[in-house]
A and B are shown apart, each in its own frame.
Chain A
Amino acid sequence: MSVGIEVRNLRVVYDGFVAVDDTSFHVAPGESFGLVGESGSGKSTILRAICGLAPVTAGEIALVGRGDRPKPGSRGFRRLVQMVFQDPYGSLHPRQTVDRILAEPLAIHRMDDAERRIEQALDEVGLGTGFRFRYPHQLSGGQRQRIAIARALILEPQVLLLDEPTSALDASVQAEVLNLLDELRRRRGLTFLMVSHDLAVVTHLCERLLVMAGGRTVETLSSEDLAARRVESPYTRTLMEASTGFRRA
């Protein structure tokens, strides 16, 4: 039933700038895969290319797994692949209530039973119906990110693209959102493709990860390898050491 994602030799060029070059990876159905890198590494561009927000200059993006595998850009693809953005302050329409934000995908895809679906989506992200008629400015950062997750899930997709979903949140709220994502994945059998600059967050949520720099692949490794510090490239090692904090020479 579930689907994964396959990216082959992807290249993305914006105004002559090569943002992503020759990148390939495979996310099996139900797997959780991480893309790690610093700013300008092209990690977010890959997510945007997958869902059609960035141009694919060369290479191929396809869904893998059993059942229907609609082409990127099609209506069916949009129902199967949804995204959660980094900045919860920028990803919700400032003039729409939570109710309208959640009703919009349902209206576009002409799904019935909107009332029940909206209430269920709010329940599922732990907010309850008391939040239904609030505007984004009446919500905290963590609550906003929960709404963004509810919006992504309301079409019942199989694949969730997560673009630094917790980097704008406080540490304690980050833990709550990570737990929520973990639980949703288990309950719904979702496939995750997550982008982050934080190795600890990625290894917490993902089984395998791809380290990127300058638009290119540095290495692919499993979370266990990283946890056991079995890394090959010096760049990954630098990232790993940097994430443990400052050390006086």
Chain B
Amino acid sequence: MSPLLVVDDLRVAFPNREGALVEAVRGVSFELGRERLGVVGESGSGKSQTGRAILGLTPPQGRVTAKRLAFDGIDLLTCPPRVRRDLRGGRIGMVLQDPKYSLNPVMTIGAQIVETLHAHERVSRREARERALAMLAAVQIDRPERVYGLYPHEVSGGMGQRAMIAMMLVADPDLLIADEPTSALDVTVQLEVLRILDRLVADRGMGLIFISHDLRLVSSFCDRVLVMYAGRVVEEIAAGELSRAQHPYTQGLLSCLPRLGESRHPLPVLQRDPAWAL
């Protein structure tokens, strides 16, 4: 079976103040099947730009190039914009960090889910409503009818993020790209949302790209982890093998976090080797 997503030598460049192009993503390659892939890195590592480039959401001044960027055999770089739009939100879903910014503030949550569905499938109004309600129930919202009629500002952050997931999953995507989906949430809510996401991804057999700064969280959630530094993948590792990471950057990231029940003063600090960025 061919992989769901092929990314080969992906590069994203932006013009700086002087107008010269600076690469934010410098030759990222990976293949994704129906699995959970974590992409981890610190700010400026290019992890978010990688996700955005796959979705076709790179800011207009940025330039995206790749030897190959294909989703299920469709070349994303050469296909017409309309095909790409249909994929986005249809077969490729996305969940972004803060539901406050990614939900439309003047539409009810239910209407937004129904609209997503209408954009990608021909369904009757009644069926759309029923599927939206079922989807809200699937993300474990207690009273779907009530939440269906609420506006995004009327719900909490955790509820908003669940609504966002519902909206993205209603069209039954094959691939879900989640960029820091739980970073804006409290820890306890965070786990609840992850549990829902985990179950849905497993039940529906989707591919998932989970982008986050939190190495420990990602490794506990995903099957495989790409560690990015300065626009490149410095290490690819099975999530269970994290303690045996080879790259000093991955090791440094793991050891510099304070841990409960451990007293290390001072904390080990990451010594950045300029060679990592080469």
Contact = CB atoms under 8 A, between A and B. Distances in A.
Contact between chain A and chain B defined by CB under 8 Å: yes
Nearest to B45: A170
A238 interface: yes
Given A171-B213, A200-B259, A201-B258, A246 B253 contact: no
Contacts of B119: none
B260 interface: yes
Interface in B28-73: 42-43
Contact of A245 (B186, B220, B258, B263): B220
Contact of B257 (A38, A171, A176, A228): A171
B257 A175 contact: yes
A200 B217 CA distance: 14
Contact of B217 (A141, A174, A183, A245): A245
A203 B266 contact: no
Contacts of A188: none
Contacts of A229: 261
Interface of A: 38-39, 141, 170-176, 178-179, 182-183, 197, 199-201, 203-204, 226-229, 238-240, 242-249
B191 interface: yes
A175 B188 contact: no
A226 B267 CA distance: 19
Contact of A179 (B217, B259, B260, B266): B266
Interface residues on B, range: 35 or more
B269 interface: yes
B85 interface: no
B216 A172 contact: no
B252 interface: yes
B111 interface: no
A175 B194 contact: no
Nearest 3 Cβ contacts at the A-B interface: A204-B258, A175-B256, A172-B270
Task: Report whether over half of chain B's contact residues are helix, strand or loop; otherwise say mixed.
Answer: loop
A180 B261 CA distance: 21
Nearest to B186: A38
A182 B265 contact: yes
A171 B190 CA distance: 18
Contacts of B217: 245-246
Contacts of A172: 42, 252-253, 256, 269-270
Contact of A170 (B43, B190, B263, B268): B43
B187 interface: yes
B14 interface: no
Contacts of A39: 157, 186
Nearest to B190: A242
Interface in B242-263: 252-253, 256-263
Contact of B195 (A240, A243, A245, A249): A249
B75 interface: no
B215 interface: yes
A200 B198 contact: no
B187 A38 contact: yes
Contacts of B270: 172, 175
B267 A246 contact: no
A172 B42 CA distance: 8
A204 B256 contact: no
Most buried by B among A200, A228, A240: A200
Contacts of A226: 260-261
B221 interface: yes
A204 B256 CA distance: 12
Given A175-B257, A200-B260, A249-B195, A141 B43 contact: yes
A246 B194 contact: yes
B194 to A, nearest CB: 5
Contacts of A141: 43
Nearest to B43: A170
A246 B220 contact: yes
Contacts of B215: 171
Given A170-B213, A203-B258, A246-B194, A175 B187 contact: no
Given A175-B269, A178-B267, A227 B213 contact: no
Nearest to A246: B220
Contact of B269 (A179, A197, A200): A179
Contact of A197 (B187, B216, B253, B265): B187
A247 B220 CA distance: 7
Contacts of B221: 246
Contact of B260 (A170, A175, A203, A249): A203
A200 to B, nearest CB: 5
A30 B68 CA distance: 60
A200 B257 contact: yes
Contacts of B43: 141, 170
